[in-house]
Amino acid sequence: MRPIEAATAVPIDPVPSLQPLPIDVVSVQSQVVYGRVGNNVAMPTLQAQGLIVAAVPTVILSNTPHYPTIHGGTLPTAWFEGYLRDLTARGALGRLRAILTGYLGSPEQAQALGRWIGQAIEAQPGLQVVVDPVLGDHDHGEYVSPGIADAYHRHLLPLADGLTPNGFELQRLTGLTATNPESVIAAARTLLVGRTQWVIVTSAAPAAWPANQMLVAVVTRNRQEVLNHPRIDALLKGSGDLFSAALTGTLLTGASVFKAASLACDQVTSALRLTRQAQCAELLLATSTGSSLESRT
């Protein structure tokens, strides 16, 4: 019987460790099963610009409240905090470039989000933070939970590089009457404190709109510009979410806030025209040049 020879060990290359998906933008907003608001708008808009996006929901609803039925609600604070904490724990934020915030479900979420954003800024001081302080609008008044406006002031506005309130939200945040472009600019300047470098006011001063036009005021510490863009008669939700997402993506290309705001206005106008032409109940997305991103439209 032949003796068994000792086997020579063959070195095996270790399995290389897998790298986490590098997130460019974290979008913290509402999410719906059906419809085009919040993250349902922000995700495809940012992805169309070649960005990798992580969507963190604040509320999950079947649809927006203007439909006859609705199910869902605000995410528990513990879940919401866990989503943010686990996103950091996955090691995916080493190249994070921007955080975009929209509709919040509770003041507690604002507090938790503020803590998390503060930690993200400490890790990456060059991070851009865009806060859309969703509170309501001129047509419907305030439609968020009590205490949200104060929570924005306490926890989120101090961390924002830029803010995108509409005209109603500007007045609610500042307590100032802003009924013409000059007063809108003056009110916006009161929010340019600390880290905040710019404020863009959408649907600004409705009483001063030219025929078939809307105004958007772009205000920085040393410059202001009032943009005109066509007013499209389409009773749709989500156009503000589209504006903020398109703006954020364009800012990440290195464009000035004035250029980014102008291009975002164009993208919203194109989407509204496309939606009206299709007679669709929900917002259809288009590129900044007006071509459709909806393969079946």
pLDDT tens string 3-47 = 545 555 666 665 568 899 999 999 999 999 999 999 999 999 999
Cα separations in angstroms, 297 against 3, 133, 271, 276, 290: 76, 32, 12, 12, 13
**Looking at residue 73, what is its pLDDT?**
96
Q: Are 99 and 120 in contact (CB under 8 A)?
A: yes
Higher pLDDT, 65 or 114: 114
pLDDT band, very low/low/confident/very high, at 295 (cuts 50, 70, 90): very low
pLDDT band, very low/low/confident/very high, at 98 (cuts 50, 70, 90): very high
pLDDT tens readout for residues 67-79: 999 999 999 999 9
Strand arrangement of the beta sheet that strand 98-101 belongs to: 72-74, 53-61, 25-32, 98-101, 128-131, 162-163, 198-201, 213-220, 224-230
Which of 150-159, 187-196, 271-280 has the least mean pLDDT? 271-280
Cα separations in angstroms, 82 against 77, 85, 141: 8, 5, 32
Helices then strands, counting H and E runs in the chain, come out as 8, 11
The values of phi and psi at residue 8, to 5°, are -85, 125
| Distance in angstroms (rounded) separating the CA atoms of residues 103 and 62 | 16
Paired tokens of 204: 């600004």
Which residues neighbour 94 within 8 Å (Cβ) at sequence distance 6 or greater? 20, 22
pLDDT tens readout for residues 148-167: 999 999 999 999 999 999 99
pLDDT tens readout for residues 119-137: 999 999 999 999 999 998 7
Residue range 279-296: average pLDDT?
Answer: 68
pLDDT band, very low/low/confident/very high, at 1 (cuts 50, 70, 90): low
pLDDT tens readout for residues 225-250: 999 888 887 768 899 999 999 999 99
Q: Are 133 and 165 in contact (CB under 8 A)?
A: yes
Which domains occur in the chain, in start order?
25-278 (3.40.1190.20)
Report whether pLDDT(290) > 70: no
The values of phi and psi at residue 241, to 5°, are -65, -40
**What does pLDDT average to over the chain?**
90
Report whether pLDDT(212) > 60: yes
